[in-house]
Amino acid sequence: MKKIFIIHYSFLIAALLHCGTTFAKDQPIAYIDMQYILKNLPQYEQANEQLTMLSKRWQKEVDAAQQEARVLATNYQTEQIFLSENMRAQREQEIVKKEQEVLELKRKYFGHEGELYKKREALIKPIQDEVYNAIQEVANEKRIDVVKDRSADPALIYMSSKLDVSDQVLRKLGAK
């Protein structure tokens, strides 16, 4: 009985593997290179430049606040022995308050739901949606069932250039 079960089990696995490979062979696949596509879209480059400028401006603001906190701490350390207990406590509170302001500023600009995240969503998301719509149009026109991003697939070693539809997607988007 065990032998029959093992034979049937191995036959079942072989049949499933054969069906899986047959299905994969019949399934039209194409590849895109998302990095290449985005790099060749002027609106994406402009959005990235805008994000970089904002990020630098906000980082300068954070750096200035950090410098103020460092100056307060340095001044406190040098003057500490001359200060009364009340003055020391007051200065320590000022330093803690300034450090909290720095953390809040970082969170406001660069946190998970910060200004940079919101701005990136506002600038980049519409471009990505446009790219995905163009990919879908190309796939529908060419009757492609699966489109993979080769720039996001580290396991991809070789791909025929016939399967790359990146330039067709760019043409759909009106890019050169």
Using H for helix, E for strand and C for coil, what is the string for 109-124?
HHCCCCHHHHHHHHHH
pLDDT of residue 4: 47
Q: Tell me the per-residue pLDDT of 105-158, one tens digit each, with 9 for 90 and over.
A: 999 999 999 999 999 999 999 999 999 999 999 999 999 999 988 888 777 778
Q: What is the DSSP letter of 147?
A: E
Residue showing tokens 């207990």: 85
To the question of pTM greater than 0.75 for the whole model, the response is no
Side-chain-facing half-sphere of 13: CA atoms under 13 Å: 5
pLDDT of residue 15: 52
pLDDT of residue 68: 97
Instruction: Map residue 126 onto helix, strand or coil.
Output: helix
Q: Is the pLDDT of residue 168 over 80?
A: yes
How many CB atoms within 10 Å of residue 93?
A: 10
The mean pLDDT of 45-68, rounded to a whole number, is: 97
Q: Tell me the per-residue pLDDT of 6-34, one tens digit each, with 9 for 90 and over.
A: 444 555 455 555 555 444 456 688 999 99
Closest Cα to residue 41, out of 136, 172, 161? Answer: 172
| Residue 103, C-beta contacts closer than 8 angstroms, at least 6 positions apart | none
Q: Regarding predicted confidence, which is higher, 161 or 65?
A: 65
Closest Cα to residue 120, out of 44, 35, 41, 40? Answer: 44
